[in-house]
Structure 1
């Protein structure tokens, strides 16, 4: 019997409308009801998946249609849901629903990912201080989907059908269709329902009636009242981490209780539909020789895509977590090292005080232990962070700048043979950092992709970056290794070679 599951996208018209609050509240409601859920986040976001994980107790995932093609994204999504045994997949959107590449394109937007997944969307909108105008905004969001579909030559993004990687659907797929959508606007946009944020209980029934009258094809499924204590605080790189919210469990329970009271959860689940993924009958490759990879995991270094972890394991890695903050040295008998991104600047004094760990890392990297260091991990390898000494493997003092230095998607092409593979290896990722150095390496050509069209189009822009050697890849970009699994496989092969050298068998 095939595994069946529901799927839903929680999106918004803009950032700050309440996506994360609604997503976490819904996850908590479903968990309390005994529904097994697998969560995801659209885009290159590390913080929101941490919220999902704190609520559910299992890792969340990232889905990004710039990093991978549509077929790969669907495989990642379906495989994760099936392996988790989830009954529902909840995908939290990023920014505004149609906001994508370069701020001028719908490419890599939540709308595009909802289309690829064939998942219906629930829109969250902040309705404080508005009435009939909200109906105009909702209708515009729905009708804009028609325009985008026409421009991109796409089929309906939100149709309630079962799809495999081919995007086909048929009754033999074993799925049950939900009822037909009333108007083309909701079909092309994929928007099926609406949750209003910061609305008074007394005004909500009238606002619901106005919206549904002017926006046929969409259902207003509920609201959250204005509750200042539920607002999630931010810092310079986005939301604070859930561990920094005082009594996070109480926060979650409060949001969930409110949603049980004022959101039609059962109707939302009906809109989510039911699908059965197509079975893949592909031969399984021989499992490579296992290697032990030390991976930084603590308060300072915790930005690692769950998909990267899964790919590492699939390619034969045993992941060995360690803490640069709290441990005295690297784990014993490891064959490689991954220093993840994070917030080392917030813990620079504690990192500096742990001199034995800094010495352990520096010695290992200098002696050729295959190492990947991204963003915060790269800063840790430098001489200093704001004049506070770090590992000293690489030159530079990372200093805070008045504004974001690099922001957005990037494609990197290596200029030399390295631990990531031969010259010309291409990886996709993103940069998002306020700290910077005078020089950040020059072994890759980094390109911000062109986006948009017409007067709003942006041009591609290239610059140098990243340090590469036969044993080290270090720089500010965070890479999503499903964009080029061969690069990660090459890294692990370098780790196997390192092990043989240490054993005297090379």
Structure 2
């Protein structure tokens, strides 16, 4: 049973439609209004999720019907809905795009499962009345999908907006919620991108300013208060909030939906003595396992649920900066290196020989190390990027 929740799913007809801009604007705008916003990103995306976290001043969680069981989706959704005034899901790709021709595991499927109405962001570049045909096609393609309204993006001027708005509202039952003008220099001026999507929050030189610009653009051209009031759901009593990173392990266990055997006993990690660092730990007690986590602008791809689950099992999380810390924290039991863009920081990482040597010695001493994506690159002999080879 889905928790009743005031929510909206921001979707587009394709990538680069402006849905991230609109989602960030709604999240930041409602947060500034004093609403407790629970941000979500559809799919395993780390980068957009980090931007949504910054805008909401709260952790963004990922939802995906392919990678997660229904029980896991509902557990995460219900937990956040119980502690927020509104939830905002940013979709991915096109609204109906999934893993096959029928659109399985699409943004539309997720929105329907969570009973979350869709705000459709439509790129209006050099098109007017044809937008009505597109919106009508979306409505007829899946009549069971709740469409809360349309936001026109990259509108050329007042006449452009008027014709497009009148056409959509004449030929469909969908309301135009707003029209965002074309930004001089393109949307990349606010949210620059690269090969995996947007530039990460940690690497953007003015991330907070970018959030403010997105919020102002959406606030000035979309009636976010009317949209908020139109969303159905139950009001949440004041006092509880999603912002404290409460352990996800406090959730009730979902029904087992896997044939994988359950771990019969807790694994005890050996304690490894390594050199000390000034990094402070988060949570835990004197008897807790200490897990070092590389977390900085080079390594920023972490799901909050994973770190919360470790804390929930009693672990103390100690962060390490691969660019500036000269040693690993003392008395750690494991090292966790997530993904990111170490290639863009390779030269600076390579200069930090003390930390790299400490990691190598720890590995030789059989310290358990979990590294994925960019983290695995750090454990290689070298990284070659843009014609330059940096020794790891």
Contact 2:81 2:87 in 1 (8 A): yes
Deviates more, 1:297-306 or 1:50-59: 50-59
Match of 1:267 among 203, 207, 226: 226
Distance 1:283 1:22, change over 3 A: closer
In the TM superposition, residue 261 of structure 1 has moved relative to its aligned partner by: 2.5
Structure 1: runs of 5 or more not aligned? 146-184, 391-506
Corresponding residue of 1:197: 153
CA distance in structure 1 between the partners assigned to 2:290 and 2:333 by the alignment: 5
Contact 1:300 1:344 in 2 (8 A): yes
Contact 1:43 1:63 in 2 (8 A): yes
Match of 1:220 among 169, 176, 186: 176
Corresponding residue of 1:366: 364
Distance 1:206 1:306, change over 3 A: same
CA distance in structure 2 between the partners assigned to 1:204 and 1:190 by the alignment: 24
Corresponding residue of 2:376: 378
Contact 1:144 1:189 in 2 (8 A): no
Please state whether the residue corresponding to 2:40 is helix, strand or coil.
Answer: strand
Corresponding residue of 1:9: 9
1:328 aligned onto 2:284 = no
1:107 aligned onto 2:104 = yes
In the TM superposition, residue 254 of structure 1 has moved relative to its aligned partner by: 2.9
CA distance in structure 2 between the partners assigned to 1:203 and 1:104 by the alignment: 34
CA distance in structure 2 between the partners assigned to 1:325 and 1:222 by the alignment: 43
In the TM superposition, residue 331 of structure 1 has moved relative to its aligned partner by: 1.2
Corresponding residue of 2:85: 87
Corresponding residue of 2:209: 250
In the TM superposition, residue 211 of structure 1 has moved relative to its aligned partner by: 0.5
CA distance in structure 1 between the partners assigned to 2:195 and 2:72 by the alignment: 32
In the TM superposition, residue 39 of structure 1 has moved relative to its aligned partner by: 0.6
Corresponding residue of 1:24: 24
In the TM superposition, residue 246 of structure 1 has moved relative to its aligned partner by: 4.6
Contact 1:70 1:116 in 2 (8 A): no
> What TM-score results when the alignment is normalised by the length of structure 1?
0.63
Corresponding residue of 1:144: 141
**What RMSD, in angstroms, separates the aligned Cα atoms of the two structures?**
2.5
In the TM superposition, residue 272 of structure 1 has moved relative to its aligned partner by: 2.1
Corresponding residue of 1:389: 391
Contact 1:4 1:87 in 2 (8 A): no
In the TM superposition, residue 128 of structure 1 has moved relative to its aligned partner by: 1.2
In the TM superposition, residue 5 of structure 1 has moved relative to its aligned partner by: 4.4
Please state whether the residue corresponding to 1:329 is helix, strand or coil.
Answer: coil
Contact 2:178 2:223 in 1 (8 A): yes
Matches within 5 A, 1:281-292: 290-292=288-290
In the TM superposition, residue 96 of structure 1 has moved relative to its aligned partner by: 0.8
Distance 1:250 1:302, change over 3 A: closer
Corresponding residue of 1:135: 132
Structure 2: runs of 5 or more not aligned? 237-249, 255-265, 267-283
CA distance in structure 2 between the partners assigned to 1:339 and 1:255 by the alignment: 32
Contact 1:195 1:223 in 2 (8 A): yes
Corresponding residue of 2:275: none
In the TM superposition, residue 92 of structure 1 has moved relative to its aligned partner by: 0.5
CA distance in structure 2 between the partners assigned to 1:68 and 1:119 by the alignment: 18
In the TM superposition, residue 62 of structure 1 has moved relative to its aligned partner by: 0.9
CA distance in structure 2 between the partners assigned to 1:373 and 1:242 by the alignment: 21
Match of 1:211 among 151, 154, 168: 168
How many aligned residue pairs are there? 340
In the TM superposition, residue 129 of structure 1 has moved relative to its aligned partner by: 0.5
Corresponding residue of 2:58: 58
In the TM superposition, residue 136 of structure 1 has moved relative to its aligned partner by: 0.9
Corresponding residue of 2:274: none
Contact 1:43 1:108 in 2 (8 A): no
Contact 2:128 2:160 in 1 (8 A): no
1:233 aligned onto 2:188 = no
1:313 aligned onto 2:311 = yes
CA distance in structure 1 between the partners assigned to 2:343 and 2:217 by the alignment: 37
Larger RCO, structure (CA 8 Å, separation 6 or more): 2
CA distance in structure 2 between the partners assigned to 1:356 and 1:244 by the alignment: 24
CA distance in structure 1 between the partners assigned to 2:334 and 2:209 by the alignment: 40
Corresponding residue of 2:37: 37
